[in-house]
Amino acid sequence: MAAAPPSYCFVAFPPCTKDGLVVFGKNSTRPRDEVQEVVYFAAATHDPESKVECTYVEIDQVPKTHAIVLSRPAWLWGAEMGANEHGVCIANEAIITKEPASEIEALLGMDLVRLGLERGATAKEALDVIVSLLREYGQGGNYYEDGSLCHAFQSAFLIVDRKEAWILETVGKYWAAEKITEGVKCICNQLSLTTRIDAEHPELRSYAESRGWWNGDAEFNFAKVFSLAEDHVKCCAGKESLDNQDGGISAQTMMDILRDKDHGVCVDSESFLTTASMVSMLPHNHSSPCIHFFTGTPDPSRSIFKPFIFADDVKQVPKVQSPSLGDDDPAKTIPRFQEKPDRRHELYKAHEWARSVIETDEDKGKKLMRIMLDLEKQGLEAMEDILSSTEVLDPTEVADLFYDCVDTEIKFFK
């Protein structure tokens, strides 16, 4: 059984946060050489009875899909994390349970992230979308671009909007969920739900009893019933640091946590690397925009978080999008993954140069990081000014925001 990569997702609510914001953060830990891209899809309407082709399977399309921005492994259809125009953010975790994950191709957990964002205008709507699709199509298939071995996992999700969050954990088609409206929460690559369950599959408990994992009399503890390991509630590095912020958690705080290598939040191991990161600021007031920050590059301790705001005519950013291989993509041809194409986008290649400088020239590397973090700080302060302003934001002023930030970063590296 393949090991689940140690990724981390966080959400913090007022009064733990600064300025009454909901703050969301996610590190995507994936195979070291995998490239992630940041892609935007506008809201769209679809013909009746039309289909949508996900990573492995085709499913029924819905009449309308919301505008979304995704950070995703460049070979697949879904996403590790993303947001939609209504202020919903979703992140996915690969998990291992007593129930072996199916290797039969179905929906990936990452497909469900995108589908939840496309179809859910609130966190609860997105949850309902995901569990409905689980029931109808199931989950399964290879999580990695690997033709030699199938790495299959169950899925967990952190689903967040301006007022609440849901932790959703799945075992095949069965699931449980907890609603969060206060404090700080973290999920990782282990089951975290215990005895507090606010929604669940109607046959969850009877299924656990039929498998001999629960006797029907003891208190039902989801993680204990379905986990392989005994340390399932001790997985969340970084949460203690957030708990100690005493009402001061900000986007900057979340970025700092995601950069923490000492406690393992930022992963840089022989097999895995934090290949992309995301932070979001979600104001309670709907007249203020939600602001999302993406690295689009590996290792947040050596990357810049760049802001994105939804607008009517968001400018596409080809420099952070991987080359399209169409129907000839080895991820689409059968048998899959017989070749591994170069999926590096322009920002990724520029960032490779920066990482090599940081790793090989200490003085030059420190100077480079200071300048990079100063660029990030300028962007973060500008976004905080937008949220604190009493004037209504003109969407045309931010349509090019992410494009300009990526362009500036690449020019700086050159």
Domain-embedded: residue 22: yes
Domain-embedded: residue 3: no
Domain-embedded: residue 163: yes
From 9, 54, 150, 236, the catalytic residue: 9
Q: Determine the pLDDT at residue 391.
A: 87
Domain-embedded: residue 131: yes
Q: Determine the pLDDT at residue 230.
A: 61
Q: Determine the pLDDT at residue 1.
A: 47
Domain-embedded: residue 73: yes
CATH code (residue 146): 3.60.60.10
Q: How many domains does the chain have?
A: 1
Residue 89 annotated as catalytic:
no
Per the structure, the complete domain to which residue 203 belongs is given by: 8-413
- Extract the tokens encoding 346: 């322009």
Residue 108: name the closest of 135, 81, 83, 77 by CA. 77
Distances (CA, A) of 112 to 9, 125, 177: 16, 13, 15
Instruction: Tell me the C-alpha distance between 217 and 33, whole Å.
Output: 48
Q: Determine the pLDDT at residue 329.
A: 97
Domain-embedded: residue 1: no
Q: Determine the pLDDT at residue 8.
A: 94
Angle of CA points 325, 326, 330, to nearest 5°: 65
Whether residue 15 has a cis bond before it, omega within 30° of 0: yes
Question: Is 155 within 8 Å of 139 (Cβ atoms)?
Answer: yes
Locate tokens 């760049």: which residue?
Answer: 306
Residues of the chain with pLDDT below 50 are 1, 233
Note if the pTM is more than 0.75.
yes
Domain-embedded: residue 188: yes
